[in-house]
Structure 1
């Protein structure tokens, strides 16, 4: 089977014209350029997303570190308050 563009050739279907083949090659070259452009755009977008992801990852690490410090500080305060309550109760008559 021949592509639709070749069915309208003035030549018999078994002998596609040079013009039709040239048009096909040109269409394929245009498609190739479009695909290259799209690939380049996609690669740039991947780079941007990678950088954004890296920045978010760093921010998450900082926030986790702050959270751990806050939880440790709260735990120490609870432990300290618990010990001071025990000391008061053992010192009373």
Structure 2
């Protein structure tokens, strides 16, 4: 069975601390994202990455290209939350969305 990781990138540093402490919502200060991908991509395994741009989709199979996308993903993981923190963040956003309707 393939390993799948799910993490959430918070909109702000406060989002992380709010999840961890249950504090009330504070003014939103953007987090510093180590990289900003200009298009979507999915690392399928060690042999391919699916790259999606506005008008096309392609598969990268060159080891150097795959390594580049893996480095980008590693950088993005440094600011993402997982586990209980990610579940709490998604639950809070769902509650806020339902309350705003």
TM-score computed with the length of structure 2 as normaliser: 0.24
Structure holding more helix per residue: 1
Higher relative contact order (CA 8 A, sep 6+): 2
Higher strand share: 2
